[in-house]
């Protein structure tokens, strides 16, 4: 039985619930983590007490983790050590305020040493504890002799997921691979070498670190452990390097075929094989999970990993896309455990190939520029060149740094940053939004005085409220507004722009004498979670008002609900790799961006449109439930990558056709959407497509316009079938053209030519026809000719 399964079985037998591996993008993403970087991440809100403790309070998992970008970043090491990976599987057991150090240590010991499980030789095991953790030091002595327990400080033996969150002292288990194989100066316990291989980390989760860096004790001390599957598999297979185990060799062998040179550990270029084998896994998993190549954020980390791999392919002599050819091998080796890999294999390949083609276009010139600069460099590489490599040739900064590390050259990072800053300032100067003013606006003091106002607009479209605060157009607090400004109401029916749904407009009626003045609400936005509306008119703090949402909200809702159905339809018909990459819903149209490697065919577009219309026609009721993020996840609700959700989320569903986490407002039943029409499908950026569509009144208007044009066309064509009429017209044009040409040819003037000293000379007047054409004809006719033609054009003469 494989090691992963043995581990999970062992802990299930010890009363732990089996949890499936979560996606790499944290599902309850609170913006603190780029990727899931440890097995405990899916449980972090349980550890910190914001989510309830499950029953039983124990869990086990084999979690895929990604350590590239963010606090735990192993990217630079990958390929050069025997044990680092960007993507790896972490086997873990977790106790939520249940058992603590004693049992955690006993379980770990039994699992690694027992014959039934890992059966590792006891004399090769070493452990480390935190220098202040006497308890762990004592407990370990029940299993292993004191001289093999080492104490280390915070740097080695204190574990934290990120800069904030659950953390605690830890105890690590090491496996000694033997001095006979490793004798470098870093090959001691705690050194950087590969001899002492850390296989399992037991974290005694006791604290939560807050934003100020304070360690606050957790209500219930817990256990989080993580064992690196790749390391243990290598040990059990007798390999000294993770990459030589059965988990990686299939990729390396296939790559050897593509390169035309089998892998050989002792050659200089062997690291390139390992880098590619590693990066293939992380890039494929990210793509399969809907992350796409991008200029920033997670998509940029993906691009950095991918381009690092491509460059190593280039070093191996490859000059065209190759990574995508390794995907099938990945599917063969990991597809059983991760079924989305085979399901999305084709889409992974297409996206990879596109990115490879893009980078192969510039890599050669980039490398030439790099090498030329390297020749002029003795110790510090010019930061401006690194910038140019990035900006013009698509070399991510860390790729250039990687290349420089190989040459033992440092980078003038200040010069790079300076160039980057200048570029940013320039692009900012070209973009003037409310962003900056909003940053420095008086929102904090308003929030401190009044807290967050309630949005009552899910149920109501009018509300009576009090004006709590007013801001001028520069977001500075004022006592009254006369003209344009922003209002903060005690409660509001106006929806603030978010999740793609446009902000509400409407009217505000003030009860100050009669006739009651009416103020326009132009737009509504969120600032520090508070809903504020932009207004035009005159308002004072303390005014009692009635806020009325513009009826066009109904149209906005139709487009928003249609977007949900569209999203679901795309996933149903094109595949589950479809992930939302942006959306916009207003009263006239919707726009939906999504990951998909190629343009949709006309047939696919028609199918998706029909799928959505079918759901509308079935008149499915909309259901909205408020629940915890975990319950939402369990219900299979689609969450958006990179979107922030609170502890309580709204789950909007149209039966089980579409279930999505969403804070927006929606129609009550699908039939309100009316007709749904896709108006355009286009590309936004690499691997991201855009659908524009309309529904509700917009669709009716569009259908009417189309019908009217058709009626006009028919009238013009004297009520013929338009297609037959147009075909007939086209034929007529064709015939007329031929007739016209014949007529022109027959009236074409013969130019009068004479010969002077062996040269043909033409001086003539042309009444009609194309002078240039006549000249060309004469040039073809005579070997040597001088021509001067005159043509009257109204009162002018052309010569």
Least separation, in Å, of the C-beta of 109 and ligand SER? 16
Joined tokens for residue 69: 């970008």
- Minimum distance of ligand SER from residue 59's CB (angstroms): 12
Residues 440/471, Cβ–Cβ less than 8 Å: no
- Our CB check for ligand SER shows the closer of 36 and 667 to be 36
Closest CA to 549 of 504, 509, 580: 504
Cβ distance to ligand SER smaller for residue 67 or 419: 67
Instruction: Compute the least distance from the CB of residue 229 to ligand SER, in Å.
Output: 12
Q: What are phi and psi of 7, to 5 degrees?
A: -65, -50
Nearer Cβ to ligand SER, position 72 or 622?
A: 72
- By C-beta, is 156 or 609 nearer to ligand SER? 156
Q: Using the rule CB under 6 A, which residue among 24, 34, 38, 632 binds ligand SER?
A: 38
Provide the mask over 730-749, with x wherever binding to ligand SER is found by CB under 6 A and - wherever it is not. --------------------
Could you say whether residue 226 binds ligand SER (CB under 6 A)? yes
Site for ligand SER in 159-188 (CB under 6 A): 159
Is the Cβ of residue 47 or residue 387 nearer to ligand SER in the bound state?
47
- Of 36-44, 500-508, 606-614, 728-736, the segment contacting ligand SER by CB under 6 A is 36-44
- 43 contacts ligand SER (rule: CB under 6 A): no
Least separation in angstroms between residue 211's CB and ligand SER is 20
Q: Which of 23, 26, 39, 193 binds ligand SER (CB under 6 A)?
A: 39
Rounded to a whole number of angstroms, the minimum distance from the CB of residue 367 to ligand SER is 36
Q: Does residue 225 interact with ligand SER by CB under 6 A?
A: yes
Please tell me what DSSP assigns to residue 382: -
> Which residue number is nearest to ligand SER in terms of Cβ?
226
By the rule CB under 6 A, 505 interacts with ligand SER? no
Distance CA 774, CA 765 (A): 11
Q: Give whichever of 225 and 453 is closer to ligand SER, judged by the CB atom.
A: 225
CA 212 – CA 230 distance, rounded (Å): 36
Question: In terms of CB distance, is 129 or 691 closer to ligand SER?
Answer: 129
Please pick, from the candidates 33, 34, 40, 510, the single residue that binds ligand SER as defined by CB under 6 A.
40
Contacting range for ligand SER; rule: CB under 6 A; set: 34-42, 274-282, 318-326, 620-628:
34-42
Least gap, CB of 428 to ligand SER (angstroms): 38
> Looking up tokens 């691979």, which residue turns up?
177
Site string for ligand SER, 523-562 (x = CB under 6 A): ----------------------------------------
Closest CA to 308 of 387, 391, 399: 399
Give least dist CB 625 to ligand SER, A: 33
What CA–CA distance (Å, rounded) separates 666 from 652? Answer: 8
Indicate the residue among 105 and 389 with the shorter CB distance to ligand SER: 105
* Helix ranges restricted to H, 289-396: 297-315, 327-334, 340-343, 345-375, 383-391
CB of 299 to ligand SER, least distance (A): 24
CB of 38 to ligand SER, least distance (A): 3
In sequence order, the 6+-apart residues with CB closer than 8 A to the CB of 698 are 555, 559, 587, 588, 589
Q: Give the nearest distance from C-beta 17 to ligand SER in angstroms.
A: 17
Q: Collect all residues with Cβ–Cβ distance below 8 Å to 104 and sequence separation of at least 6.
A: 93, 95, 202, 204, 223, 225
Distance in angstroms (rounded) separating the CA atoms of residues 330 and 319:
22
Q: Side-chain half-sphere of 37: how many Cα atoms within 13 Å?
A: 18
Query: Judged by CB under 6 A, which of 28, 74, 89, 224 binds ligand SER?
Result: 224
Cβ-based nearer residue to ligand SER, 158 or 322: 158
- For 33, residues 6+ apart whose C-beta sits below 8 A from its C-beta are 26, 41, 70, 161, 162
The residues near 704 (Cβ < 8 Å, ≥ 6 apart) are none
Q: Which is nearer to ligand SER, 167 or 695 (CB)?
A: 167
What is the number of other CB atoms lying within 10 angstroms of the CB of residue 594? Answer: 24
Site for ligand SER in 121-160 (CB under 6 A): 159
Give the residue with the Cβ less far from ligand SER, 90 or 637.
90
Q: How far is the CB of 369 from ligand SER (least distance, A)?
A: 39
CA distance 505 to 222: 49
Residue with smaller CB distance to ligand SER, 201 or 657: 201
Residues 274, 308: Cα–Cα separation, whole Å: 12
Site residues for ligand SER, 183-222, by CB under 6 A, read 201, 203
Measured from the CB atom, the residue of 165 and 597 that comes closer to ligand SER is 165
Q: Toward ligand SER, which CB reaches closer, 40 or 326?
A: 40
DSSP calls for 158-216: EEESSSSEEEEEEEEEEEE--TTT--STT-STTSSSSSEEEEEEEEEEEEEE-TT--EE
* Site residues (CB under 6 A) for ligand SER, limited to 64-103: 90, 92
> Phi, psi at residue 121, to the nearest 5°?
-65, 125
> CB of 170: closest distance to ligand SER in angstroms?
7
User: How far apart, in whole angstroms, are the C-alpha atoms of residue 519 and residue 433?
Assistant: 24
d(CA 9, CA 361) in angstroms, rounded, equals 49
Site for ligand SER in 758-777 (CB under 6 A): none
Q: Are the C-beta atoms of 566 and 693 separated by less than 8 Å?
A: yes
Residue 90 CB, shortest distance to ligand SER, in Å, is 6
Candidates 223-231, 328-336, 686-694, 789-797; binding stretch for ligand SER (CB under 6 A): 223-231
Rounded to whole angstroms, the Cα distance separating 779 from 767 reads 20
Q: Cβ distance 370 to 392 under 8 Å?
A: no
Q: Which is nearer to ligand SER, 157 or 505 (CB)?
A: 157
| Count of residues near ligand SER by CB under 6 A | 11
Cβ atoms of residues 777 and 749 within 8 Å = no
Outline where 394-551 has alpha helix (H). Answer: 397-407, 413-429, 435-439, 443-450
Q: Tokens at residue 66, please?
A: 């990604």
- The residues, ordered by sequence, that sit 6+ positions from 566 with a Cβ below 8 Å of its Cβ are 590, 592, 608, 612, 676, 691, 693
Candidates 33-41, 283-291, 523-531, 642-650: pick the segment binding ligand SER (CB under 6 A).
Answer: 33-41
CB nearer ligand SER, residue 159 or residue 251: 159
Q: Return residues touching ligand SER (CB under 6 A).
A: 38-40, 90, 92, 159, 201, 203, 224-226
């Amino acid at each position: 039985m494989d090691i992963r399964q043995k581990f999970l079985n062992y802990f299930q037998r010890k009363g732990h619930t089996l949890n499936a591996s979560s996606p790499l993008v944290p599902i309850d993403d609170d913006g603190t983590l780029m990727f899931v970087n440890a097995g405990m991440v899916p449980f972090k809100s349980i550890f910190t007490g914001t989510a309830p403790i499950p029953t039983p309070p124990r869990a086990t998992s084999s979690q895929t983790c990604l350590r590239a970008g963010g606090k735990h970043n192993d990217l630079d090491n990958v390929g050069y050590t025997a044990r680092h990976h960007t993507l790896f599987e972490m086997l873990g057991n977790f106790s939520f305020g249940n058992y603590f150090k004693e049992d955690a240590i006993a379980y770990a010991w039994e699992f690694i040493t027992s014959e039934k499980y890992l059966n590792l030789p006891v004399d090769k095991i070493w452990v480390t504890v935190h220098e202040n953790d006497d308890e762990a030091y004592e407990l370990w002595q029940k299993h292993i002799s004191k001289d093999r327990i080492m104490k280390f400080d915070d740097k080695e033996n204190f574990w934290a997921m990120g800069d904030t969150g659950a953390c605690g002292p830890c105890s690590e288990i090491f496996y000694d691979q033997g001095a006979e194989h490793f004798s470098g100066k870093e090959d001691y316990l705690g050194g950087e070498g590969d001899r002492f291989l850390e296989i399992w980390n037991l974290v005694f989760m006791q604290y939560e670190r807050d934003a100020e860096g304070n360690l606050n004790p957790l209500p219930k001390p817990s256990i989080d452990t993580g064992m690196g599957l790749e390391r243990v598999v290598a040990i059990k297979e007798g390999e000294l390097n993770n990459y030589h185990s059965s988990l990686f060799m299939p990729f390396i062998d296939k790559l050897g075929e593509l390169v035309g040179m089998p892998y050989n550990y002792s050659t200089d270029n062997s690291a390139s094989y390992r880098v590619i084998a590693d990066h293939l896994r992380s890039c494929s998993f990210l793509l399969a999970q809907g992350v796409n190549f991008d200029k920033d954020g997670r998509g940029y980390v993906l691009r950095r990993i991918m381009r690092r791999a491509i460059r190593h392919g280039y070093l191996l002599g490859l000059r065209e896309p190759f990574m995508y050819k390794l995907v099938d091998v990945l599917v063969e080796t990991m597809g059983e455990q991760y079924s989305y890999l085979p399901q999305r294999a084709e889409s992974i390949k297409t996206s990879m190939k596109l990115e490879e083609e893009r980078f192969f276009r510039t890599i050669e010139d980039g490398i030439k520029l790099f090498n030329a600069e390297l020749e002029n460099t003795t110790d510090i590489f010019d930061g401006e060149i690194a910038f140019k490599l990035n900006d013009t040739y698509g070399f991510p900064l860390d790729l250039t740094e990687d290349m420089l590390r190989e040459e033992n050259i440092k980078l003038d990072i200040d010069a790079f940053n300076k160039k980057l800053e200048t570029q940013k300032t320039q692009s900012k100067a070209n973009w003037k939004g409310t962003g900056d003013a909003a940053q420095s606006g008086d929102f904090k003091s308003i929030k401190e005085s009044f807290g967050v106002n309630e949005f009552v607009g899910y149920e109501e479209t009018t509300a009576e409220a009090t004006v709590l605060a007013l801001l001028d157009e520069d977001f500075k607090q004022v006592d009254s507004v006369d003209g344009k400004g922003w209002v903060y109401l005690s409660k509001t029916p106006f929806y603030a722009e978010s999740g793609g749904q446009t902000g509400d407009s409407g009217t505000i009626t003030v009860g100050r004498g009669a006739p009651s003045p009416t103020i326009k609400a132009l737009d509504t936005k969120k600032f520090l979670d508070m809903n504020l509306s932009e207004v035009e008119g005159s308002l004072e703090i303390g005014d009692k008002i009635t806020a009325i949402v513009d009826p066009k909200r109904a149209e906005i809702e139709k487009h928003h609900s249609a977007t949900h159905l569209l999203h679901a339809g795309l996933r149903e018909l094109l595949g589950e790799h479809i992930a939302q990459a942006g959306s916009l819903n207003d009263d006239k149209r919707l726009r939906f961006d999504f990951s998909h490697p190629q343009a949709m065919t006309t047939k696919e577009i028609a199918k998706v449109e029909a799928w959505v219309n079918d759901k509308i026609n079935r008149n499915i009721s909309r259901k909205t439930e408020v629940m915890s993020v975990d319950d939402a996840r369990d219900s299979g609700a689609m969450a958006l990558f990179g979107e922030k959700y609170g502890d309580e989320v709204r789950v909007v569903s149209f039966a089980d056709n579409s279930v999505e986490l969403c804070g927006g407002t929606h129609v009550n039943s699908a039939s309100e959407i009316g007709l749904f029409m896709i108006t355009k499908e286009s590309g936004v950026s690499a691997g991201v497509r855009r659908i524009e569509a309309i529904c509700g009144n917009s669709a009716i208007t569009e259908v009417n316009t189309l019908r009217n044009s058709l009626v006009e066309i028919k009238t013009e064509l004297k009520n013929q079938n338009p297609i037959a009429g147009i075909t007939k017209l086209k034929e007529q044009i064709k015939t007329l053209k031929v007739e016209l040409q014949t007529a022109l040819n027959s009236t074409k003037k013969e130019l009068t030519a004479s010969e002077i000293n062996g040269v043909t000379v033409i001086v003539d007047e042309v009444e009609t026809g194309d002078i240039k054409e006549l000249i060309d004809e004469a040039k073809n006719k005579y070997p040597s000719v001088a021509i001067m033609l005159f043509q009257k054009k109204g009162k002018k003469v052309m010569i």
